[in-house]
Amino acid sequence: MDSTPETIAAAETPRGQIALRERPAADGSVVHELVVAGVFAMDSADTSTETALAERSLERVEAPTRVLVGGLGLGFTAWQVLKDRRVQDLHVVEIEEDLVQWARLGLTPTLGVLARHPRVTLHVQDAASPVTDDGEPVGPWDLVLLDVDNGPSFLVHRENERLYSAPALSSILAQLAPGGALAIWAAQREPDLLATLTGLATTEEVLLPVERQGRSLEYALYIARP
Ligand X SMILES: C[S@@+](CC[C@H](N)C(=O)[O-])C[C@H]1O[C@@H](n2cnc3c(N)ncnc32)[C@H](O)[C@@H]1O
Q: How far is the CB of 61 from ligand X (least distance, A)?
A: 18
Residue nearest ligand X (C-beta atom): 73
Plot region of 28 (φ>0 → left; ψ -120 to 50 → alpha; else → beta): left
Of the candidates 68, 74, 103, 184, which one interacts with ligand X according to CB under 6 A?
74
Told to check if 144 binds ligand X by CB under 6 A, we report no
Q: How far is the CB of 100 from ligand X (least distance, A)?
A: 9
Told to check if 57 binds ligand X by CB under 6 A, we report no
Q: How far is the CB of 26 from ligand X (least distance, A)?
A: 22
Told to check if 50 binds ligand X by CB under 6 A, we report yes
Peptide bond into 64 cis (omega under 30): no
Told to check if 77 binds ligand X by CB under 6 A, we report yes
Told to check if 36 binds ligand X by CB under 6 A, we report yes
Q: How far is the CB of 178 from ligand X (least distance, A)?
A: 26
Told to check if 126 binds ligand X by CB under 6 A, we report yes
Nearer to ligand X, 62 or 159 (CB): 159
Q: How far is the CB of 15 from ligand X (least distance, A)?
A: 8
Please give the size of the binding site for ligand X, defined by CB under 6 A. Answer: 25
* Three-class secondary structure assignment of the chain: CCCCCEEEEEEEECCEEEEEEEEECCCCCEEEEEEECCEEEEECCCCHHHHHHHHHHHCCCCCCCEEEEECCCCCHHHHHHHCCCCCCEEEEEECCHHHHHHHHCCCCHHHHHHHHCCCEEEEECCCHHHHHCCCCCCCCEEEEEECCCCCCCCCCCHHHHHHHCHHHHHHHHHCEEEEEEEEEEECCCCHHHHHHHHCCCEEEEEEEEEEECCEEEEEEEEEEEC
Quick note: the x/- pattern for ligand X over 85-114, rule CB under 6 A, is --------xxxx--x---------------
Which residues lie near ligand X (CB under 6 A)? 36, 41-42, 50, 70-77, 93-96, 99, 126-128, 147-149, 157, 160
